[in-house]
Chains A and B, each alone.
Chain A
Amino acid sequence: QLQLQESGLGLVKPSETLSLTCTVSGGSMTNYYWSWIRQPPGKGLEWIGYIYYNGNTNYNPSLKSRVTISVDTSKMQLSLKLNSVTAADTAVYYCARGGAPGVPATMNWFDPWGRGTLVNVSS
C-alpha cells in the first residue's frame, strides 16, 4: 500500500525559505503526477503545484513566482521550496499522488495523501 510522509522544519522565519520533503514508500513514482497541497488553520484546501515523475511541473499561478517542486525518483522523494514566506503561508502542507497512471493531468484527483506537516511562519 502506497504511503507518503512529509518532513521538514515546522518553524520558518518570515522572508526565509520553507523546505519540505515527501518520502514515498510501497509503490512506484513512475507514470504519476505528484502534488503539494496546503491548508491554513481552520481554512480550506489550496493546490500549490505538481510534478510529473519525469520532472515536468505546473504551479498555482498565485504562488508560481515563489515555488519550486522537484523529484528524485531514485530516492522516492519529492520536495517543495517556497521562498519569501509570510504569516499567510502558515499551514498544514500535504503531498499527494495524482489519480491513476496515464490519466491526463487535467483529469487527475488526489489519492493517497500524506498525513501532512504543520509549518508555522513566525519570528
Chain B
Amino acid sequence: AQSVSQHNHHVILSEAASLELGCNYSYGGTVNLFWYVQYPGQHLQLLLKYFSGDPLVKGIKGFEAEFIKSKFSFNLRKPSVQWSDTAEYFCASNPMDTGRRALTFGSGTRLQVQP
C-alpha cells in the first residue's frame, strides 16, 4: 500500500522566518500531489496541487511546492511566514495509473508561528 510521510510533526517559527515542510510519498508510478491546510477551527482547504508539467507549483498565500520525482518528494515552502499561517498542513497523494481515486494523507505538520 502506498504511504505519505511527513517527518516534521510540529514546527515552531518566528514571523518572517522561512518555511520548508517535508513530504515524501512511496508510490513508484505517476502521482497527483496535494498540500491541504487546516486553520484552527476550520475545515481542510486546498493550498496547492501538482498534476503534471512544471515541477514547481505555486499556490495561495505565497506558498509553493517542488516535485522532485527522483526523491519521491513534494516539499512545501514559503519564504516568509506570518502569524496567520499557524495551522496544520497535510500532504496527500493519489496514483494516476491505477484507477484509484482515494487520497492518501500524511499525518500532518502542525505549524506554530510566533509573533
Are chains A and B native binding partners rather than an unrelated pairing?
Answer: no
Which residues of A are interface residues toward B (Cβ below 8 A)?
Answer: none
